Chain A
Amino acid sequence: KQEVTQIPAALSVPEGENLVLNCSFTDSAIYNLQWFRQDPGKGLTSLLLIQSSQREQTSGRLNASLDKSSGRSTLYIAASQPGDSATYLCAVIPVRFGAGTRLTVKP
Chain B
Amino acid sequence: ETGVTQTPRHLVMGMTNKKSLKCEQHLGHNAMYWYKQSAKKPLELMFVYNFKEQTENNSVPSRFSPECPNSSHLFLHLHTLQPEDSALYLCASSQDVGTYNEQFFGPGTRLTVL
Contacts and interface: CB of A to CB of B under 8 A. Distances in A.
Interface of A: 4, 31-32, 34, 36, 41-46, 49, 51-52, 89, 91, 93, 95-100
B43 A91 contact: yes
B99 A98 contact: no
A31 B106 CA distance: 23
A32 B107 contact: no
B64 interface: no
Given A34-B102, A43-B6, 9 more contacts: A31-B99, A32-B102, A41-B110, A43-B4, A44-B92, A51-B100, A93-B99, A96-B42, A98-B42
26 contacts: A4-B42, A31-B100, A31-B101, A32-B100, A32-B102, A34-B102, A34-B103, A41-B88, A41-B110, A42-B107, A43-B4, A43-B6, A43-B90, A43-B106, A43-B108, A44-B92, A45-B105, A46-B102, A46-B103, A46-B104, A95-B33, A95-B48, A97-B42, A97-B43, A97-B44, A99-B40
Contacts of B102: 32, 34, 46, 49
